[in-house]
Amino acid sequence: MSKNILITGASSGFGRDTAETLAGAGHQVFASMRDIGGRNRPHADALQTRGIHVVELDVTDEASVEHGVASVFAKAGHLDVLVNNAGIGSAGISEAFTTEQLRALFDVNVFGVQRMLRAVLPAFRQQGHGLVINIGSILGRVTFPFFGLYGASKFAIEALTDSYRYELSKLGIDVVLIQPSNYPTNIFASAQLPSDTARSPGYGEIGAVPGKMVETLMELFKSDNAPNPHDVAEAIAQVVEQPDGKRPARLVVGQSFGTDVINAQAASIQAQLLESLGLGQLAEA
């Protein structure tokens, strides 16, 4: 059955691939991004030629979110799926990032998700069904040194996703977290780098490690053994097609680095916790 689907951060990377994959499967897709009349115009034009609706939407701007979501409902009449994909990366000595940089990171990766949910959920609740897919990361479960601030934003998405899934479980709304591993997308090329560079020399040889880690990743991404980022789009398409109430809480895509083990352990602990609080029913669809 064809669904109406809104995807944030769809100009490139996972979002762009997911928009094209879902449209190819027969769904009506609304691909949102910033600045469709400027720097993202080539991306917007390319998506439109494939029959995908393009929506101007900046997840860091409350008014832009409200206007963009309203335009989707005006065009489609209703929405079935929200994919919270918009995000930015971050890599480097944690101390060398300013507070303003961390605020900007969370504004997209965490606050942007909250803005989108507040804009969409009233309609989902009114219609009695809907699917939210949040794009997290394995770095929301395991920590790579020098990627900790980005990971902190994805750890936040773990808690946010769980809480929304419990709270919406009796309202016909599924909430699923996708946890991608390392994939060759532009999130590394466009990642935040520390702006307070005077801090890094104090770390001596350790200060050179982040650059070497990124170089190693770039070499992997150019090799014959590079992971295929299309895996993520396929995983999202799989979740969209699954029956309501039967979808997994989380789905690791790519090399797990132990994330799947932590997921299983956390699920057991969470189930026991909810039971102890007398809220075990919220863990059931």
Average pLDDT over residues 83-89: 97
Reported confidence tier of residue 223, pLDDT bands at 50, 70, 90:
confident
pLDDT at 43: 96
Q: What is the pLDDT of residues 152-177, one digit of tens each?
A: 999 999 999 999 999 999 999 999 99
What DSSP string describes 96-127?
A: GS-HHHHHHHHIIIIIHHHHHHHHHHHHHHHH
Q: What percent of the chain is modeled with pLDDT above 90?
A: 88
pLDDT at 46: 96
CA atoms within 13 A on the CB side of 12: 14
* 208 and 35 Cβ atoms separated by less than 8 Å: no
150 counts as catalytic = yes
Q: Taking 80 as the threshold, does the pLDDT of residue 187 lie above it?
A: no
Average pLDDT over residues 217-225: 79
pLDDT at 285: 65
Least confident of 75-89, 175-189, 199-213: 175-189
Domain architecture of the chain: domains with CATH: 4-283 (3.40.50.720)
Q: Give the chain's mean pLDDT.
A: 95
The residues pairing with 176 across neighbouring beta strands, listed in sequence order, are 133
Which residues have C-beta within 8 Å of that of residue 59, sequence separation ≥ 6? 8, 9, 65, 86, 108, 111, 112, 113, 115, 116
Q: What is the pLDDT of residues 33-67, one digit of tens each?
A: 999 999 999 999 999 999 999 999 999 999 999 99
Least confident of 12-21, 217-226, 233-242: 217-226
Average pLDDT over residues 251-280: 96
Q: What percent of the chain is modeled with pLDDT above 70?
A: 99
The residues pairing with 192 across neighbouring beta strands, listed in sequence order, are 90
* Backbone angle region of 146, left / alpha / beta, with phi > 0 → left and psi within -120 to 50 → alpha: left
pLDDT at 7: 98
Question: How far is the CA of 130 from the CAs of 81, 186, 270, in angstroms?
Answer: 6, 30, 24
User: 150, 164, 166, 183: which is the annotated catalytic residue?
Assistant: 150
The radius of gyration computed from the CA coordinates of the chain, to the nearest angstrom, equals: 19
d(CA 91, CA 194): 8
Residue 78 burial by Cβ neighbours in a 10 Å radius (0-12, 13-18, 19+):
middle
Query: Global pTM?
Result: 0.95
- Amino acid (1-letter code) at residue 91: A
d(CA 10, CA 15): 4
d(CA 228, CA 237): 15
∠ CA 164-9-251, nearest 5°, is 45
Least confident of 22-31, 73-82, 185-194, 260-269: 185-194
* 10 and 85 Cβ atoms separated by less than 8 Å: yes
